[in-house]
Amino acid sequence: MNEDFDVVIIGAGPAGLFCTINCAGNGARVCILEKNARPGKKLLITGSGQCNITHEGPVKEFLAHYGDKANFVKPALYGFTNEDLTRFFAARNLQMTADDNGKLFPESRRAADVLNMLLEECRAKGVEIRTDEPVQEIGKFPGGFLIRTEKSQYRARFAVITTGGKSYPGTGSTGDGYGLAAALGHSIAEPAPALVPLAIEDYRLSRCSGISLPGCAVGHYRNGKRIGLWKGDVLFTHTGLSGPAILDNSRYVLPGDELKLALVAFESAGDFDRDLVARLSVHGRKTVKNVLGVYGVPDRLAVEALESTGIAPDTVFSRLDRESRKIMARSFTGFPFRVRRAGSFNEAMATRGGVALVEISGRTMESKKADGLFFAGEVVDVDGDTGGYNLQWAISSGCIAGRSIARLMDKKSSVRD
Ligand SMILES: Cc1cc2nc3c(=O)[nH]c(=O)nc-3n(C[C@H](O)[C@H](O)[C@H](O)COP(=O)(O)OP(=O)(O)OC[C@H]3O[C@@H](n4cnc5c(N)ncnc54)[C@H](O)[C@@H]3O)c2cc1C
């Protein structure tokens, strides 16, 4: 038996929930079909459960955080900005607060508070959220869409695909949306893991796992030639490198590339060496490890990194010969790592690729292939940097998709009429 709705939204992540909130109400019959037993499973683990929902600053500064997709994301981001987002939650008694890096979080630092508020808003607008209902098929019928799940069949004038990407598949984002979009005539840009940590060949710093270097300069080399220079926080893991500077740039890295990390804040080995010499009279009696501590290198990292230079960490600094000092200066201004591989979808915080942007209107998020079909969030070929840019995209695109549907519903009659 068919059940009729004005709008069926496939996927109850942030994009689907924001779309719903913006088209429900005023008597519209809106239903969300969610594959998992509960909505928003991925939202709950964002920002390690604290939900870095967006970033502070003028929205025009956001555009640079979406690579070559800046033009496409602009109408959505301007249509529902980071300030709109903050106001939306503040009006419902959930204040946002920024950390030192400009990342915005709910004041409670609980992603669950964000999700609960969105679900409450859906309930208040009379939206049905049907869980354990993975959508298996979607097709067209005159005046709308036919959507099939294992349990039921739905007809809707408008359909929205907000099934997310393929990263962290355990959260429900397993790429189903690509097949659904393709069935309605859409092309898919090959999905690939984005925002991934990097596994390093012959990694020697596993004992440094958990250490983070703020504002670290990272040189990116291919075939001996520098092809990039990044700056940001780097985190050492059990198998390699992570942290914002690595995650944000992982899209440019190939296996076999070399990364050279400045473990101290000097641009060249020569500068660092000159500074070491200048400080010899003050720090001469310290151990080499402790001298590195003066430059902000954590003990454990100093010990492990020195090992690869052959310099004993407890060597008294004044006894270090010139050649060894120069080796240390070179090593700590460009500590080399060879990339073994980039992380898989299981480790990726986002998905590159997705529903091709040329087939979607960036102003409304409506399909150019099928009238009444909309997309929002990570299912489309947009991925942002770390720092709240992916949630802002999911929310802004969901919001303008919902508003566009609401406008069309005002104009046209629903399938029930
Ligand atoms: C560990 C981790 C931490 C992150 N932290 C941050 C952060 O702090 N800030 C930030 O900006 N971004 C963060 N992200 C990225 C962010 O979570 C995503 O970009 C965002 O959730 C995308 O929203 P979405 O609604 O498009 O998709 P999703 O959140 O993936 O939601 C899609 C929903 O669709 C459902 N679904 C899938 N297939 C079907 C189907 N066939 N039928 C019905 N339902 C279906 C899924 O079960 C899921 O509930 C993080 C990601 C990860 C993995």
**Ligand 1 contact via 378 beta carbon (within 6 Å):** yes
Mean pLDDT in the chain? Answer: 96
Residue 417 has a pLDDT of: 44
Q: Flag whether pLDDT at 394 surpasses 60.
A: yes
Which one-letter DSSP state was computed for residue 247? H
Measured distance between the N- and C-terminal CA atoms of the chain, rounded to whole angstroms: 18
Query: Are 289 and 306 contacting, i.e. CB atoms less than 8 angstroms apart?
Result: yes
> What is d(CA 375, CA 212) in angstroms, rounded to the nearest whole number?
37
Domain 2-193+349-411, architecture per CATH: 3-Layer(bba) Sandwich (3.50)
Query: Binning pLDDT at 50, 70 and 90, where does residue 416 land?
Result: very low
Q: Flag whether pLDDT at 181 surpasses 60.
A: yes
Q: Flag whether pLDDT at 290 surpasses 70.
A: yes
- DSSP SS3 for 95: coil
Query: Binning pLDDT at 50, 70 and 90, where does residue 411 land?
Result: confident
Query: Binning pLDDT at 50, 70 and 90, where does residue 217 land?
Result: very high
- CA angle, corner 244, sides to 333 and 240, nearest 5? 65
The mean pLDDT of 388-406, rounded to a whole number, is 98
- Burial of residue 67 (CB within 10 Å: 0-12, 13-18, 19+) is middle
**What's the 111 CA to ligand 1 centre distance in angstroms?**
13
Q: Flag whether pLDDT at 2 surpasses 90.
A: no
Name residue 144's beta-bridge partners. 141
Q: Flag whether pLDDT at 360 surpasses 90.
A: yes
**What's the 172 CA to ligand 1 centre distance in angstroms?**
8
**Ligand 1 contact via 390 beta carbon (within 6 Å):** yes
Residue 412 has a pLDDT of: 64
The mean pLDDT of 371-399, rounded to a whole number, is 98
Residues 6+ apart with CB under 8 A from 383: 66, 67, 69, 165, 194, 195, 251, 350, 351, 352, 390
Nearest to 36 by CA among 177, 159, 130: 130
| For the chain, the helix, strand and coil percentages under 3-state DSSP, each to the nearest 5 | 40, 25, 35
Residue 415 has a pLDDT of: 47
Nearest to 234 by CA among 255, 258, 217: 217
Task: Pick the residue whose CA is nearest to atom 35 on ligand 1.
Answer: 11
Task: Pick the residue whose CA is nearest to atom 53 on ligand 1.
Answer: 349
- Burial of residue 321 (CB within 10 Å: 0-12, 13-18, 19+) is exposed
**Positions of CATH 3.50.50.60 in the chain:** 2-193+349-411
